[in-house]
Amino acid sequence: MVFNLKGKSALVTGASGGIGSAVARALHNQGAELIINGTRSSELEKLAAELGNKVHVLQGDLADTNSIGCLAEAAEKISDNGIDILVNNAGITRDSLLVRLSDQDLMDVINLNLISGFHLTRKIIRGMMKRKWGRVIGISSVVGITGNAGQTNYAAAKAGMIGFSKALALEVASRGITVNNIAPGFIKTPMTEDLSEEQITRLQASVPIGRLGEAEDVAAAVVYLASLEASYVTGTTLNVNGGMAMP
Ligand code: NAP
């Protein structure tokens, strides 16, 4: 099988959401053992029941920096050989023009989209370094590259993920660990379901491929970056945006 992940274990954050659940399904389909995280246990349990064996639910709030260490330890204990693939996918938006942006919305977005990934990766990567194999994959965003009015907080966090990954890729390249990002365009998930018909039509017109993305489009890119076949790809950002931006 191409992109065979049998014998590998993956921790996917935000697996209760649109992209995260598709990523979990796709990695599991390739044979990976899964640890799925989010704050909504019911959604995670539903996904675990759907996928069947080799799926473990690890509920936890990544906004609480102090609990991330415990969460990482618990994840490593669940899996026999530690975590091989970390997908930093959990994210939120709190959109507002900068002049109206509250400190709370600024810090919440930076904290969850960027800082939680720092803390979780720092814990999980130690085991990868010992075992000399690992994949760290961040779900950034096209707006981290192009910017978007009303999303200074979110765009800064997503751009920060890209700088973080490049620096870390250099630190761990000699240990068999790759660190990459995916920058999705507009993907149909609960995060984008509040868009009006008019906004969707306008967005669609800006996508050369002519449709909004599906969570499965992003999941396929995660499977590739997680695979043995992608062992020579590091420090990069894979754009999955239907051609709407070609940086
Ligand atoms: P989503 O359906 O809203 O999923 C967001 C996920 O993040 C949920 O599983 C949620 O879990 C989790 N999460 C939120 N706060 C958390 C916390 N404090 N602790 C742990 N987990 C938390 O959105 P999505 O579209 O799938 O987004 C997934 C990622 O893709 C995000 O990083 C997003 O920025 C990025 N992205 C999305 C798009 C798009 O168009 N949809 C485009 C570019 C990038 P709970 O609900 O269980 O708390």
CB of 189 closer than 6 A to ligand 1? yes
154 labelled catalytic: yes
Per-residue pLDDT reduced to its tens digit, 92-127: 999 999 999 999 999 999 999 999 999 999 999 999
pTM of the model: 0.98
pLDDT band at residue 195 using 50, 70 and 90 as cut-offs: confident
What is d(CA 200, CA 32) in angstroms, rounded to the nearest whole number?
35
Annotated catalytic residue, options 9, 11, 142, 154:
154
Query: What is the percentage of the chain residues whose pLDDT exceeds 90?
Result: 94
The residue-averaged pLDDT of 25-46 equals: 98
Name the residue with the closest Cα to ligand 1, atom 23.
191
What is d(CA 119, CA 83) in angstroms, rounded to the nearest whole number?
15
What is the per-residue pLDDT for 1?
78
Cα→Cα distances 179→129, 167, 175, 232, Å: 13, 9, 11, 11
Cβ neighbors of 2 (< 8 A, separation 6 or more) are 227, 229
Place of tokens 């994840």: 75
Longest dimension (CA), the chain: 52
Per-residue pLDDT reduced to its tens digit, 217-232: 999 999 999 999 999 9
What is the per-residue pLDDT for 227?
98
CB of 39 closer than 6 A to ligand 1? yes
Is the predicted pLDDT of residue 80 greater than 90, yes or no?
no
The residue-averaged pLDDT of 67-72 equals: 96
Domains of the chain: 9-239 (3.40.50.720)
Cβ neighbors of 126 (< 8 A, separation 6 or more) are none
What is the per-residue pLDDT for 222?
99
Per-residue pLDDT reduced to its tens digit, 125-182: 999 999 999 999 999 999 999 999 999 999 999 999 999 999 999 999 999 999 999 9
C-alpha 178 – ligand 1 centre gap (Å): 23
